[in-house]
């Protein structure tokens, strides 16, 4: 993928987002969109993800995170610029 066609963002999702299959859902949804990156639970109760791919797919995934899986109750999704490339594929990481 040419560098100029790649968008990378880090998102922090807050609300009822742990213990509701948010990480597994994110892996499935991001993989279906052809994204690379990772997702993990954070000790403060949020979920953090880094999303990399074509801008339209990244934007669609950020929007999808505003709803999440059925049991989630998302209160806020905060996107941040992320400059570091990620490995191919989308993975769940341990809690940080």
Which residues are catalytic, by number? 23, 41
15 within 8 A of 73, measured Cβ to Cβ: yes
Q: How many residues does the structure list for the chain?
A: 96
39 within 8 A of 28, measured Cβ to Cβ: no
**CB-based contacts of 57, cutoff 8 Å, min separation 6:** 33, 34, 35
């Amino acid at each position: 993928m040419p560098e100029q066609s790649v968008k990378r963002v880090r998102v922090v999702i807050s609300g009822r987002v742990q213990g509701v299959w948010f990480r597994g859902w994110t892996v499935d949804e991001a993989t279906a969109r052809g994204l690379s990156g990772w997702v993990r639970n954070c000790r403060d109760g949020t979920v953090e993800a880094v999303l990399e791919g074509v801008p339209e797919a990244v934007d669609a995934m950020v929007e999808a995170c505003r709803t999440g899986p059925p049991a989630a109750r998302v209160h806020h999704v905060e996107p941040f610029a992320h400059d570091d490339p990620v490995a191919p594929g989308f993975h769940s990481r341990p809690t940080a």
